Amino acid sequence: MRRRSRLDLVAIGMLGLGLLASGDVHAQQKSVKEQLVGTWTFVTSTDDRWGPNAKGVLVFDAHGRYVLVINRSDLPKFASNRVDQGTAEENQAVLKGTIATFGTYSLNEDDKTLTTQVEGGSFPNLYGRTQKRVIKALSPEELRDLNPATTTGAAAEVVWKRAR
């Protein structure tokens, strides 16, 4: 009888430790917003206007503010070497090959919908508007989001990696 009681106590103790450990795992899980906060660098997009080797950054802070910039790697240098004296062709190429927005963001944790409220950027038509994206995948190292309506009217999935 004594041997059985000890075995029962060991089994109950191990079960209790298992429950405590699983509770710790749940306590350590971060919300989608907590996982999203930080700096991400552009990897690729199904929107081919960015061309090969595009560069970009996406930053989410813990207070609900964001900045997004993506540009082509082959943007022309301005012959004048002054930002305010680009030729019509230089300006057009830069505008076509760049998107920048900043403002605030909110998250619907349940359906992983990210909504940005655009305050400013490279395309004035977005000022004061919201943009919705669906988070398709999120890990400590990678973010994949779907923008169902880009500034060119197409849908695009974008892959970002955590900046180090």
DSSP secondary structure of 58-97? EEE-TTSEEEEEEE-TTPPPPTTS-GGG--HHHHHHHHHT
- Domain 31-162 -> CATH class: mainly beta
**Mean pLDDT, residues 72-97 taken together:** 97
CA–CA dist 68, 104 (Å, integer)? 11
Count of Cβ atoms closer than 10 Å to residue 84 Cβ: 6
pTM over 0.95: no
Which residues on neighbouring strands pair with residue 132, listed in sequence order?
A: 115
**Mean pLDDT, residues 38-46 taken together:** 97
Query: Residue 41: its pLDDT value, please?
Result: 98
pLDDT in tens, 142-157: 999 999 999 899 999 9
pLDDT above 70 coverage of the chain, percent: 83
Q: Residue 91 — φ and ψ, nearest 5°?
A: -60, -45
pLDDT in tens, 20-29: 444 444 446 8
